[in-house]
């Protein structure tokens, strides 16, 4: 009764729905804000015993169905029994249910942005929830018989721990309602009543007096196709009695039957290309739809629908008739698909992955699709804005709520300038013949595809702008990482220069003493090995000086690159988007689409045959043309933007600096190792000379500065070399002492320099270099 507004502390909010038998009203508690959906039977004595049984059965079933994806029942507050007495003339049980605030799925599909189907994460959620609900019913031997978008409601979580999706909205779950047609069946029973919404009814309901729970498989398949494409698969502009004879002729592989522009009926094994799901998921769902939309109910939903199952032994029959539709869908939904947006080619890419899929493997797949060589690909995570390495695991970047999950760029080009858009066939035709008139069916397709085209180009443009921003952020991160690497190499460079200083002083002192010995012709026979070491030291010092000079220049380059990377391009991007955007085109296309949708009822109820009527579609043709023209202009103008050149130049510059830093680190390590080796050689040479002099001090005579030649045969193992030297005169004790003293001085100075080196190394380890100047403007 419309006049019943208040019942105790409850206030009538609004009518949620009204069917052939019952009315559902939303009631709200004025203190607790609790909401209840209460369903009452609106008929009284007119009801037959069968109708009363059906109503009672629904209440009992819902009360027994404890499943998160079937609308739950609640205990009816006692005040409603008396308060709704006048609104319940039949005296049948009143059904009290939880309130699902999101409306029903039909309302979602009627929105303009669903003209090309729903987004993949939403499709996955719906399929998962309805699969769970339907499997629960069938496990409990209940067939729904009226599965359709109107009987699926959206429940939004209102808990304190709000689970938010990528758009910042609370998590939505989907629930089945209206079990008024549901009936309990066992494995051998059949139903004999003609029920359900005509467009979603299985063929056997029209062609046979009996049917089983496989009718739900058919309805589920139709529902799945519609949420993916935004339209039903089988001649959606015709009544069931008209399209079913055509569908009956389809083979197992065919999942849709459609009428061409020239009114020919065609069959297809693929989902319509105007959709918003990824290619891998599309292929998987096409296989599942073949199982769900099998014409023969005895084969539908089973593991071998294309095989003939009659006249087989019972064991083989059982094996061939296993129901797999729910398990198959569950396995499909469990698969992980990584979604990539190619900024360079303005294209969406997607690939099925597992835990062992590496980035290098992903790059090979990308190369096959868009022909960017593996070595020229840059892949960036949407979540972190970091360039990921080839050995990284792709699964780390998978997120079912993100689309895309990764961006890919070419090193040679940020955005290509010769990218052809993907234009629906209906839109291409209208652009080729802009003044043509369309009949009702073709105009339906054109408006749907035209608005879908505008939406898809807007999504690509959003991904492009976000991808450019992500690249700018990744270059900031690269410059910071390069600074860290630079600082690390710079410390090693400081240690190398300290070693260079020590060995330079050591060799300078050594050269001075040797020159003194040469001038006085003292002990020069033993000093020939030092010349080779001094020459090698000079060569290494020359290399270090060149490295130091190059390193100083690199530091300046890195400082400049870091400053440029911190110069935000967001302002330039925002200015570009302000100047070039699809907002006006979208507004016009939306207006045209809504206007046409409002005229649907008028078209469908004309007294004349609607196929003979032709309509002007110039508004959607104009929107499609403007969209295509703007897209081309954006791609062309993008090439001349300073932020694009800045990103490209900075990418190349940081790549070169990174290579130089790596080479410098390797060179520093090599030179440091060479200096240590030379220091060891110099030390060994000095002590060998001292040992030789001390050992033969009593027999050494003064020799000219030359290398004495010895014959091999004159040597005996174990004998000193001096035994085979003919000494013209006995060395004076004073000269010997002078040579030993000079050697000891060199050794003492060497020890002092080593201590100084160790002290400088400890100081370097404790030092903290301030590279804050690199962050300056």
Q: How far is CA 747 from the centre of its chain?
A: 65
Who's near 345: CB < 8 A, 6+ residues apart? 370, 372, 416, 419
Helices of type H across 234-358: 240-247, 279-292, 314-320, 325-334
Q: Quick check: helix, strand or coil at residue 268?
A: strand
| Dihedral sign of CA atoms 441, 445, 446, 451 in order | positive
- Cα distance between residue 653 and residue 662, in whole Å: 14
The count of C-alpha atoms lying within 13 angstroms of the C-alpha of 294, restricted to the half-sphere facing its C-beta, is 23
DSSP bridge pairs for 174: 154
Closest CA to 431 of 440, 441, 421: 421
Exactly one of 13, 104, 113, 146 is catalytic; which is it? Answer: 146
Q: Tokens 């049948």 correspond to what residue?
A: 92
- Cα distance between residue 221 and residue 411, in whole Å: 44
Contact indicator for 346, 638 with CB cutoff of 8 Å: no
Q: Tokens 């009204």 correspond to what residue?
A: 18
In angstroms, what CA-CA distances link 569 with 48, 350, 573? Answer: 73, 29, 6
572 is catalytic: no
Who's near 102: CB < 8 A, 6+ residues apart? 153, 154, 155, 156, 172
Closest CA to 304 of 313, 315, 317, 314: 317
CA angle 387, 389, 390 (to 5 degrees): 135
b/e map of 616-628 (b: 16 or more CB within 10 Å)? ebebbbbbbbbbb
Q: What are phi and psi of 171, to 5 degrees?
A: -60, 135
- Cα distance between residue 700 and residue 708, in whole Å: 13
Residues annotated as catalytic (active site), given as ranges: 146
């Amino acid at each position: 009764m419309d006049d019943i507004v208040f019942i105790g502390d409850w206030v009538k909010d609004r009518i949620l729905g009204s069917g052939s038998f019952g009315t559902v009203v939303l009631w709200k508690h004025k203190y607790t804000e609790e909401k209840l959906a209460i369903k009452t039977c609106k008929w009284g004595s007119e009801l037959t015993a069968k109708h009363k049984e059906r109503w009672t059965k629904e209440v009992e079933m819902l009360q027994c169905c404890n499943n998160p994806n079937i609308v739950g029942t609640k205990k009816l507050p006692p005040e409603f029994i008396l308060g709704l007495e006048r609104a319940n003339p039949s005296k049948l049980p009143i059904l009290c249910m939880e309130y699902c605030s999101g409306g029903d799925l039909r309302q979602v599909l009627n929105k303009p942005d669903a003209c090309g189907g729903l987004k993949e994460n939403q499709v996955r959620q719906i399929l998962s929830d309805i699969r769970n609900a339907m499997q629960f019913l069938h496990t409990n031997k209940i067939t729904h018989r009226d599965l359709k978008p109107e009987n699926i409601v959206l429940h939004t979580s209102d808990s304190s721990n709000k689970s938010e999706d990528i758009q910042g909205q609370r998590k939505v779950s989907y629930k089945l309602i209206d079990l008024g047609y549901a009936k309990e069946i066992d494995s051998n029973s059949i139903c004999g009543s003609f029920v359900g919404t005509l467009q979603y009814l299985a063929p056997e309901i029209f062609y046979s007096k009996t049917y089983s729970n496989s009718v739900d498989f058919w309805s589920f398949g139709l529902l799945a196709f519609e949420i993916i494409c935004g339209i039903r698969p089988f001649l959606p502009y015709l009544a069931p009695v008209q399209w079913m004879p055509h569908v009956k002729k389809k083979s197992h592989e065919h999942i849709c039957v459609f009428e061409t522009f020239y009114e020919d009926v065609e069959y297809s094994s693929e989902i319509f290309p105007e959709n918003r799901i990824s290619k891998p998921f599309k292929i998987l769902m096409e296989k599942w739809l073949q199982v769900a939309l099998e014409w023969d109910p005895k084969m539908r939903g089973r593991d071998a629908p294309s095989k003939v199952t009659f006249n087989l032994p019972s064991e083989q029959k059982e094996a061939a008739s296993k129901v797999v539709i729910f398990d198959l869908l569950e396995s499909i939904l469990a698969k992980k698909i990584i979604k990539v947006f190619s900024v360079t080619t303005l294209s969406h890419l997607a690939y099925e992955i597992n835990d062992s899929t590496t980035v290098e493997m992903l790059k090979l797949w990308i190369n096959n699709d868009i022909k960017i060589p593996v070595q020229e690909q840059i892949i960036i995570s949407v979540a972190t804005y970091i360039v990921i390495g080839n050995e990284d695991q792709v699964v780390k970047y998978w997120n079912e709520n993100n689309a895309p999950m990764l961006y890919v760029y070419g090193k040679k080009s940020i955005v290509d300038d010769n990218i052809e858009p993907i234009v629906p066939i209906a839109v291409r035709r209208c652009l080729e013949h802009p003044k043509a008139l369309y009949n009702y069916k073709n105009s339906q397709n054109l408006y749907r595809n035209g608005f879908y085209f505008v939406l898809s180009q807007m999504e690509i443009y959003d991904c492009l702008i976000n991808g450019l921003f992500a690249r700018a952020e990744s270059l900031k991160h690269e410059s910071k990482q390069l600074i860290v690497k630079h600082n690390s190499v710079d410390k090693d460079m400081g240690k190398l220069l300290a070693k260079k200083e020590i060995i330079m002083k050591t060799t300078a002192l050594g050269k001075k003493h040797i020159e003194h010995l040469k001038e006085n012709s003292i002990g020069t026979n033993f000093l020939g090995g030092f010349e080779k070491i001094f020459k090698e030291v000079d060569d290494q010092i020359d290399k270090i000086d060149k490295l130091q000079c190059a390193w100083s220049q690199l530091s300046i380059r890195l400082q400049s690159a870091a400053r440029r990377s911190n110069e935000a391009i967001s302002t330039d991007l925002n200015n570009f988007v302000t100047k070039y955007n699809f907002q006006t085109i979208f507004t016009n296309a939306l207006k045209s689409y809504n206007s046409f949708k409002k005229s649907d009822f008028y078209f469908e109820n004309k007294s004349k045959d609607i196929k003979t009527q032709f309509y002007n579609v110039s508004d959607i043709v104009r929107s499609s043309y403007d969209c295509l023209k703007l897209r081309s202009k954006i791609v062309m103008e993008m090439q001349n933007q300073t932020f694009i050149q800045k990103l490209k130049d900075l990418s190349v510059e940081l790549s070169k600096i990174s290579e130089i830093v790596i080479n410098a680190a390797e060179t520093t390590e090599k030179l440091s190792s060479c200096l240590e080796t030379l220091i060891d050689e110099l030390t060994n040479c000095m002590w060998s000379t001292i040992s030789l002099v001390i050992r033969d001090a009593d027999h050494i005579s003064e020799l000219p500065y030359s290398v004495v030649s010895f014959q091999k045969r004159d040597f005996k193992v174990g004998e000193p070399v001096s035994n085979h030297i003919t000494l013209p005169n006995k060395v004076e004790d004073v000269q010997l002492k002078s040579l030993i003293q000079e050697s000891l001085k060199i050794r003492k100075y060497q020890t002092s320099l080593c201590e100084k080196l160790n002290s400088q190394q400890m100081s370097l380890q404790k030092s903290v270099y301030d590279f804050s100047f690199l962050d300056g403007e």
